[in-house]
Amino acid sequence: MAIGEAGPGSVRSGVQPRRLEETLRARLGRECVYMPSCRLGLYVALRHWCPPGGRVLMSPVNDDVIFFVVLAAGLRPVQAPLNPFDASIDIDAVPADVWGSLSAVLTTNLYGNPDPAPRLRARCASLGIPLFEDAAHAIGSEVGGRPVGAWGDASVFSLSKHVDAKAGGMLAVADPDLADVLRAARDELLVPRRARSELTYAVRPYAEAAVRGLGLRRAAWATLGLLGLTEREGIRMPLRPSELSRAADAAPDLGAHHTWVRVDMHDYR
């Protein structure tokens, strides 16, 4: 269980998680539930709103961890056409028959650049399907006069990408009555915290800063490899299709997809 900015204590009842929830609730005007990571928050949301086997429209330009989270939730990613100018979902280029086949839409807000959330919200409402906002890059972005994360049925945030929190995430929801249900779903997925993992999250940001300042990139990657903290040498992780096929047969199952979902953050839950 990655506690991140929550500090020592329990994700279930710690003071810092509650303070973080209150802070983001004030910004978004929505109920917020602290998560050990953005990816776990997305998994909880997908499992709550989408039926197994459902199809999720999403950008092909994203961290592949998100792709594997969708698979772990027992869903089928549908790669959306993108606007060539800002890499957001090109709503008008999605065929009508594809819209009719979807169970949900997931935005990316790549590098903080907002997807067209107002139009996506209207389209999803007309189809009766949920809109999810991946706001990992966009905790300070706005679109249509609202913060990114205030348009979807649910939105997820990564604290470590913006506020030097080392780890931690947030799930924001439009319906405040769902908060307790989602907290319970989160708690069912948590695993015991390990001292080594907490030390890793405490030290890693400072080590990365030193690497950038001193030009020690090669040595740093070698050290992280020895510690078992790296699983990919490039942007994309190894697919391992045979193993992935077996995992897909077990979906929805986060445990079966653990080796893909955990990449770069072994204690995401």
pLDDT tens digits for 155-186? 999 987 776 666 789 999 999 999 999 999 99
Q: Residue 114 falls within a domain, yes or no?
A: yes
13 phi and psi, to 5 degrees?
A: -140, 10
Q: Which of these ranges, 196-200, 234-238, 244-248, 263-267, has the smallest mean pLDDT?
A: 196-200
* Amino acid 238: pLDDT: 81
pLDDT at 111 over 70: yes
The range of the structural domain enclosing residue 180 comes to 4-189
pLDDT tens digits for 62-108? 889 999 999 999 999 999 999 999 899 999 999 999 999 999 999 99
In this prediction, what percent of the chain has a pLDDT beyond 90? 63
DSSP calls for the chain: ---GGG-SS-TTT-HHHHHHHHHHHHHHTSEEEEES-HHHHHHHHHHHHS-TT-EEEE-SSS-HHHHHHHHHTT-EEEEPPB-TTT--B-GGGS-HHHHTT-SEEEE--GGGPPP-HHHHHHHHHHHT--EEEE-TT-TT-EETTEETTSSSSEEEEEGGGTS--SS-EEEEES-GGGHHHHHHHHHHH-----HHHHHHHHHHHHHHHHHHHHT-HHHHHHHHHHTT----SSSSPP--HHHHHHHHHH-S-TGGGHHHHTTT-TT--
Q: Name the residue type at position 257.
A: H
Residue that wins the pLDDT comparison between 239 and 43: 43
* Amino acid 39: pLDDT: 96
Q: Residue 173 falls within a domain, yes or no?
A: yes
In this prediction, what percent of the chain has a pLDDT beyond 70? 77
CATH code, domain carrying 55: 3.40.640.10
How far is Cα 221 from Cα 232, in angstroms, rounded to an integer?
A: 11
Q: Residue 182 falls within a domain, yes or no?
A: yes
Q: Residue 260 falls within a domain, yes or no?
A: no
Q: What mean pLDDT is predicted for residues 100-124? A: 96
pLDDT at 36 over 70: yes
Going by C-alpha positions, the residue among 167, 197, 199 that lies closest to residue 35 is 167
Cα angle for residues 198, 200, 206 (degrees, 5° grid):
120
Q: Residue 224 falls within a domain, yes or no?
A: no
Q: Residue 229 falls within a domain, yes or no?
A: no
Going by C-alpha positions, the residue among 110, 111, 115, 95 that lies closest to residue 55 is 95
CB 257 within 8 A of CB 247: yes
| Matching residue, tokens 């997820």 | 156
- Is the pTM higher than 0.85? no
Q: Residue 29 falls within a domain, yes or no?
A: yes
pLDDT at 5 over 50: no
Average pLDDT, the chain: 85
pLDDT at 114 over 80: yes
pLDDT at 191 over 90: no
CA atoms within 13 A on the CB side of 103: 18
Q: Residue 218 falls within a domain, yes or no?
A: no
How many structural domains compose the chain?
A: 1
